[in-house]
Structure 1
Amino acid sequence: MNKMPKWADAVLIPLISILLAFFFSGLVIWAIGKDPVVAIKTMVDGAFGSTSGISYTLYYATNFIFTGLAVAVAYHARLFNIGGEGQAMLGGLGVTLVCLAVPWPHWTLALPAAMIGGALFGAAWAFIPAWLQAKRGSHIVITTIMFNYIGAALLGYLLTRVLKVKGSMVTESARFPEGAHLPNFSEIFAPLGINFSPNAPANMAFFVALLCTFLFWILIWKTRLGYEIRAYGQSETAAKYAGIAPARIVIIAMLISGALAGLMAINNVMGEAERLIDNAVEGAGFIGIAVALMGRNHPIGILLAALLFGFLYQGGAELSFWESIPRELVVVIQALVIMFTGALDNMVRMPLEKIFVALSKDKKKEA
């Protein structure tokens, strides 16, 4: 029996956790001699006060939607995929190879091919840890962490020895052909009379992320495979009794997870940089863990959590620039949000459960 209604678990607990995080962030900002109210206003204006700010916020959110969904798929199968960072790196390699292989005439042809390339390379990088977990009992957390470093080393080698432009000192691939450039928000919304900056990083990948969010919901809650993933995640013993093969679910869930992480590359590699650069993922794979946990591994929650972290990234950059607040303090604010919404979840949950139990008893007495 649930001790509190679903809406409280899905909405009230994250909301209180976020408010606590911002309260303590305000105390930290006040402690260094800055006005917390001005700081929050600067962050909000920087993230949502202009089309440029909105574009950057949605660009970051797009990355976090992909990596959040990647973590959530695995989590439903009771697998903690810490390898989103490496899988997104290898997804970038897949997107790059596809975009550079053909002189694409138009992005409508390049995008589906790049999505396949990114998803395949991300899934391939997730397959080995999945196989080791399913067949050899190696812990998925350890192997996926290790594969992040292996992926970074592999990508570094390729960017310095294989993909680097001849004669260039920069560790990046060649720029993609014009036909492989995704339209950004400036091009997409100009016909509607909405003016975004020509350099706005948000692009068509945002809508692909929304589509993946919807498909994630269908997969997990409307398909047999999704039922098997959730059943295995709830009880391996019961899943076996029902005829569900654990090794099959582990491998399939991790392949889907890796594919979603790899798809992130269509946003940062194909959509924004238009080439493969070193450290293009910029920690989005790890932020995806916080996004999934905060969003309760539900597509709507993940979408909202991704927008929150997009706000923190863009608003934090503006805060650092305009208010001369150290960038490290912005990282502290992000860490406080992660801590309260993840590590200290029970600090909010347990008192709320007691309140709802007490209210339920009072209602029964009145009846």
Structure 2
Amino acid sequence: MNKQLPGWVDFGLLPILNLLTAFLIAGLVVVAIGENPLEAVGHILFGAFGYGEGIGYTIFYTTNFVFTGLAVAVAFHASQFNIGGEGQAYIGGLGVGLACLALDSTLPWWGILPFAMLGGALFGGIWGAIPGYLYAKRGAHVVITTIMFNFISFSLMVYVIVNFLKTPSNMAVQSRTFEQSAWLPKLTWLDGLVPGIAGSPANVSVLVALAACVFVYILIWRTKFGYEVRTFGANPEAARYAGISTTRVVVIVMAISGALAGLMALNPVMGEQNRVFLDIPQQAGFVGIAVALMGRSHPLWIIFAALLFGMLYQGGAELAFEMPSINRDMIVVIQGLVILFAGAMEFMFRPMVAKFFAGEAA
């Protein structure tokens, strides 16, 4: 049933119902292994929000998920399923890293940041545009090509780092550490309000993530191109009949999607590790799919969905420490349940809720 529902139901009630269902089943799993689910929830909340350093780590993970959630959401609006956020973040990390390596001895961080953003967005955008072009011109399925590009990006990063960026005296597959002038500042200005947050890797890239949310909102809902994207996503045949170039829409949308995923690399590369290294995305590209689904592809709700997964990542580490019987694998199960029910949103509670509201209207 595709009946139009009120906004508070579509963006609020349905995600909450699915989230509660996921946590209910996760609670039953915790009970099955002999632990108290309420105690487990308490450890998760304390680990994520109970002290300054934990809050900082929650913000750090949330920043990654905002970027990748936006990347998936932009593609969703054009009916494209971009599963290549991992690969686009990898290649974006290369763009960010090259800008830092080239300029860290001459410019301060605020002078390097625009070039790092340009490098991450450009490299990630190109990596996203290629599957878009293959789909528009050759009919290659975006899901298949973006998955394959994830593997290609990893191998490409290993080759580039080992052959061009790695220092000879270092056995680790990583570049040299950037000069400190190229490090993004931590959120030390919040330390008076949230004591201990300066000890976390949270940095000013969170402000770039919030700016990206504003950009996506304006792009999709306040521009002519955004209208074309939404029209194509709703009905490709009608879009073609109206004279909209579907090739242009798909390629540009996938490029923007890849650019947003590439910008995610600012957080770990320039803000935390301060070098080019392997596993830059740290699974954030895949989590972004669930974030976009839970956030209904809207930037505002993507922030809250990303915060939820940031809480699960950081709070899950605290839970595994306080309750050893619930290891990291169990945390992955909980995250998987949330992703499962977020993906099933349209098929679980929506028909029942739509029927209820239809009865109320009658």
Does 2:142 correspond to 1:140? Answer: yes
**Unmatched 5+ residue regions in structure 2?**
none
Check the 8 A contact 1:104/1:177 in 2, yes or no. Answer: no
Which residue number corresponds to residue 125 of structure 1?
127
| Distance in 2, Cα, partners of 1:298 & 1:3 | 16
Which residue number corresponds to residue 72 of structure 2?
71
Which residue number corresponds to residue 116 of structure 1?
118
Q: Give the 5 Å matches for 1:243-262.
A: 243-262=243-262
Check the 8 A contact 2:90/2:262 in 1, yes or no. Answer: yes
2:140 is paired with a residue whose SS is coil
Q: CA deviation at 1:193?
A: 5.2
Which residue number corresponds to residue 171 of structure 1?
173
Does 2:267 correspond to 1:240? Answer: no
Q: Give the 5 Å matches for 1:48-197.
A: 48-102=49-103, 103-186=105-188, 188-190=189-191, 194-197=194-197
Does 2:305 correspond to 1:337? Answer: no
RMSD: 1.3
Check the 8 A contact 2:26/2:334 in 1, yes or no. Answer: yes
Q: CA deviation at 1:160?
A: 2.3
Check the 8 A contact 1:104/1:180 in 2, yes or no. Answer: no
Q: CA deviation at 1:3?
A: 4.9
Q: CA deviation at 1:197?
A: 4.0
| Distance in 1, Cα, partners of 2:339 & 2:173 | 32
Query: TM-score w.r.t. structure 2 length?
Result: 0.96
Task: Choose 142-151 or 121-130, whichever is displaced more.
Answer: 121-130
Q: CA deviation at 1:303?
A: 0.8
Which residue number corresponds to residue 365 of structure 1?
none
| Distance in 1, Cα, partners of 2:278 & 2:165 | 11
| Distance in 2, Cα, partners of 1:260 & 1:162 | 26
Which residue number corresponds to residue 288 of structure 2?
288
Does 2:356 correspond to 1:359? Answer: no
Task: Choose 30-39 or 193-202, whichever is displaced more.
Answer: 193-202
Check the 8 A contact 2:68/2:288 in 1, yes or no. Answer: yes
| Distance in 1, Cα, partners of 2:200 & 2:345 | 36
Q: Give the 5 Å matches for 1:209-358.
A: 209-324=209-324, 325-343=326-344, 345-358=346-359
Q: CA deviation at 1:126?
A: 1.1
| Distance in 1, Cα, partners of 2:193 & 2:286 | 37
Check the 8 A contact 1:86/1:147 in 2, yes or no. Answer: yes
Query: Which amino acid is 2:253 matched to?
Result: A
Query: TM-score w.r.t. structure 1 length?
Result: 0.95
Q: CA deviation at 1:70?
A: 0.5
| Distance in 2, Cα, partners of 1:145 & 1:3 | 33
| Distance in 2, Cα, partners of 1:300 & 1:193 | 24
Which of structure 1's runs of 4+ aligned residues deviate more than 4 A? none
| Distance in 1, Cα, partners of 2:196 & 2:204 | 14
| Distance in 1, Cα, partners of 2:10 & 2:66 | 21
Which residue number corresponds to residue 11 of structure 1?
12
Which residue number corresponds to residue 44 of structure 1?
45
Check the 8 A contact 2:59/2:206 in 1, yes or no. Answer: yes
| Identity level (%) | 51
| Distance in 1, Cα, partners of 2:328 & 2:23 | 17
2:107 is paired with a residue whose SS is coil
Q: CA deviation at 1:198?
A: 3.6
Residues 166-207 of structure 1 show CA distances to partners (whole Å, capped at 9, x for unaligned) of: 111111111111111100112x324x5543344311100001
Which residue number corresponds to residue 34 of structure 1?
35
Residues 291-346 of structure 1 show CA distances to partners (whole Å, capped at 9, x for unaligned) of: 00110000111111000000111111111111111110000000111111113541
Task: Choose 91-100 or 345-354, whichever is displaced more.
Answer: 345-354
2:165 is paired with a residue whose SS is coil
